[in-house]
Amino acid sequence: MLDDFSLDVDAGERVVVLGPSGCGKTTLLRLIGGLELPDAGEIWLADQLVATGGRLLVPAHERRLGYLFQDLALWPHLTVWGNLEFVLGSIGVRKADRPERIREALALVRVDALAHRRPSELSGGEQQRVALARALVGKPRLLLLDEPFSSLDAELRAVLRGELVRLQQSLRLTSIYVTHDRDDAAALADRVVRLGGRS
Q: Which domain holds residue 116?
A: 76-138
Question: Both 133 and 159 in a single domain?
Answer: no
Select from 113, 138, 163 the last residue of a domain: 138
Amino acid at 185: A
Measured CA to CA in angstroms, residue 150 lies from 49, 124, 139, 184 at distances of 32, 11, 25, 10
Sheet containing 65-68: order of strands: 65-68, 142-146, 175-179, 14-18, 191-194
Structural domain total, the chain: 2
* Domain boundary, last residue among 88, 105, 138: 138
- Each residue of 163-195: pLDDT tens digit? 898 898 888 999 999 999 898 899 899 999 998
101-151 pLDDT tens trace: 999 999 999 999 999 999 999 998 899 999 999 999 999 999 999 988 887
Q: If DSSP states are collapsed to H, E and C, what string results for 149-184?
A: CCCCCHHHHHHHHHHHHHHHHHHCCCEEEEECCHHH
Q: What pLDDT is recorded for position 117?
A: 97
